């Protein structure tokens, strides 16, 4: 068999993504670590604990990625390590992240650094967290420090990860810290994170040492937006469709619109809305980061309003496997006329049973989106290794490399998905042979 299904653009970012708390281990000075100690909060009573010991084993993990043809890697700097107390910077943590960046460069992996990936130092959480507007300025101080300290080593920045998920999980459903259930507070948190992104965008460009020092490169700044497909479940019950549209308006559309116009307009029936103009937020994306996982069918009146369609294939976490939605999400954000980085995409599959086919089918839809005009410049698979999946604990296994958490050595075991992904990354193309191997006729 000859020919190609898709050839990806020259310079395409092929990589994997992770966040510090989920892989490093020992992050005991943030709000998530404390939340994990509360009985009943994490599935199975799991705790992040040592996680993957990536804090010590980062060079080994980056070597695996480089050998598999990755040329980029998304990571986060743990705020609570760098600033464990108000007004104090931990020199050892700063040196550690310099070593991490040096390792990435040595392995030929372009870093994409996330500055807020769901965790907060305890001194921030204990002062009201992101409900407190003062947190915006504390975060900006952290961003300014990182820009000055690491700016000569980092060109790609992600300010905040999924501000809408962070806000609604922590302040609406109460499943994440601080465990509140107040939709109005969720909207306020979401607005504060969007404002913080706009200010951080300006800081990172003002402090950009790449352009200032004549490296011929400049900072590229964006955020990561979770974009699930939301559809009414029952065609004969119009209120399901109404709820889906209302959720989409605040969860998806309002976030993207705010980063373009600088106007934050967030509202939910029965909750305190937020209307705010933030000049720094207008035009604050050099790229848009897309996190895509699934489609949810929405019920107007249900204990769990978001469900997978009946009979649909699902992941280990019950999320629908819906590659077609990936193409739709890419085309939706393409209307912003910005470069797109797929900052997260993957499948919880402990046995690596359905992931190989789902991954290849999804990358086919990514290629179709590019052919239809979406300016996609990179793809970061979630994740390189199995890790601590927040309230789902160690139940959700997303890794290209499986980790046996029952073994103190925490071995990394390469999956078939990793091998297939490696072939695509090495060739920068999706070839028919790969599709045939997973049973797809593309």
Instruction: Write the CATH number for 111.
Output: 3.20.20.80
Neighbour tally for 181: CB within 10 Å: 12
pLDDT tens readout for residues 17-70: 999 999 999 999 999 999 999 999 999 999 999 999 999 999 999 999 999 999
Q: Is residue 309 in some structural domain? A: no
Q: What pLDDT score does 236 carry?
A: 87
Q: Please give the C-alpha separations between residue 321 and each of 241, 309, 379, in angstroms, as whole numbers.
A: 21, 10, 18
Residue span of the structural domain in which 81 resides = 6-225+250-292+318-437
- Separation CA 121–CA 143 (nearest Å): 14
In a domain? residue 298? no
At residue 264's C-alpha, the angle toward residues 261 and 266, to 5°, is 135
CA atoms within 13 A on the CB side of 205: 13
Query: Per the domain annotation, does 245 fall within a domain?
Result: no
Positions marked catalytic = 162
Residue 232: inside a domain: no
Query: Does residue 390 belong to any structural domain of this protein?
Result: yes
CB neighbour list of residue 338: distance below 8 Å, 6 or more residues apart: 285, 286, 287, 288, 375
Largest CA distance in the chain: 62
Return d(Cα 32, Cα 5) in angstroms, integer.
43
Tens-place pLDDT, residues 265-293: 999 999 999 999 999 999 999 999 999 99
Nearest to 32 by CA among 96, 125, 144, 97: 125
4 band by pLDDT with thresholds 50, 70 and 90: confident
404 has pLDDT over 90? yes
Q: What is the pLDDT of residue 235?
A: 85
The token duo for 248 is: 């989409």
pLDDT tens digits, one per residue of 202-259: 999 998 865 445 444 589 999 999 999 999 999 888 999 999 999 999 999 999 999 9
> pLDDT value at position 216?
44
Q: Are the C-beta atoms of 223 and 287 separated by less than 8 Å?
A: no
**Both structure tokens of 306:** 């978001």
pTM equals 0.96
- For 58, phi and psi rounded to 5 degrees? -60, -40
* Residue 71 belongs to a domain: yes
Distance separating alpha carbons of residues 385 and 403, to the nearest angstrom: 7
Q: Please, which pLDDT band fits residue 1 given cuts at 50, 70 and 90? A: very low
**How many domains, in total, are found in the chain?**
1
């Amino acid at each position: 068999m000859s020919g190609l299904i898709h050839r990806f653009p020259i310079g395409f970012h092929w990589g994997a993504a992770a966040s510090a708390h989920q892989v490093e281990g020992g992050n005991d000075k943030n709000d998530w670590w404390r939340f994990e100690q509360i009985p009943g909060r994490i599935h199975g009573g799991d705790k992040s604990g040592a996680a993957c010991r990536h804090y010590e084993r980062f060079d080994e993990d980056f070597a695996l990625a480089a050998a598999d043809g990755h040329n980029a890697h998304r990571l986060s700097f743990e705020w609570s390590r760098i600033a464990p107390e108000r007004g104090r910077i931990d020199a050892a943590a700063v040196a550690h992240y310099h070593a991490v960046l040096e390792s990435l460069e040595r392995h030929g992996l372009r870093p994409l650094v996330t500055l807020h990936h769901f965790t907060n130092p305890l001194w921030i959480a204990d002062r009201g967290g992101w409900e407190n507007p003062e947190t915006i300025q504390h975060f900006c101080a952290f961003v300014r420090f990182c820009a000055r300290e690491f700016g000569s080593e980092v060109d790609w920045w992600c300010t905040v990860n999924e501000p809408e998920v962070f806000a609604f999980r922590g302040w609406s459903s109460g499943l994440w810290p601080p465990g509140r259930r107040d939709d109005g507070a969720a909207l306020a948190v979401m607005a504060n994170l969007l404002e913080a992104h706009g200010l951080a965008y300006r800081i990172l460009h003002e402090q950009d040492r790449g352009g200032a020092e004549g490296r011929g490169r400049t900072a590229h700044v964006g955020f990561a937006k979770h974009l699930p497909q939301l559809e009414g479940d029952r065609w004969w019950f119009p209120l399901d469709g109404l709820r889906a549209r209302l959720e989409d308006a605040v969860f998806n559309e309002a976030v993207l619109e705010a980063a373009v116009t600088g106007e934050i307009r967030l509202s939910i029936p029965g909750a305190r809305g937020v209307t705010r103009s933030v000049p720094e937020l207008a035009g604050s994306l050099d790229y848009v980061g897309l996190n895509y996982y699934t489609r949810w069918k929405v019920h107007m009146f249900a204990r769990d309003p978001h469900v997978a369609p009946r009979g649909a294939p699902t992941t280990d976490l019950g999320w629908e496997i819906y590659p077609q939605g990936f193409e739709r999400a890419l085309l939706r954000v393409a209307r912003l006329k910005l470069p797109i980085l797929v900052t997260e995409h993957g499948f919880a599959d402990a046995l690596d049973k359905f992931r190989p086919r789902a991954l290849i089918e999804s990358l086919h839809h990514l290629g179709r989106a590019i052919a239809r005009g979406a300016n996609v410049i990179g793809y970061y698979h979630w994740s390189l290794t199995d890790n601590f999946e927040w309230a789902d604990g160690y139940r959700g296994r997303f890794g290209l490399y499986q980790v046996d958490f029952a073994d103190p050595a925490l071995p990394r075991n390469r999956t078939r998905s990793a091998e297939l992904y490696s072939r695509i990354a090495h060739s920068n193309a999706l070839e028919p042979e790969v599709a045939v191997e997973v049973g797809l006729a593309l």
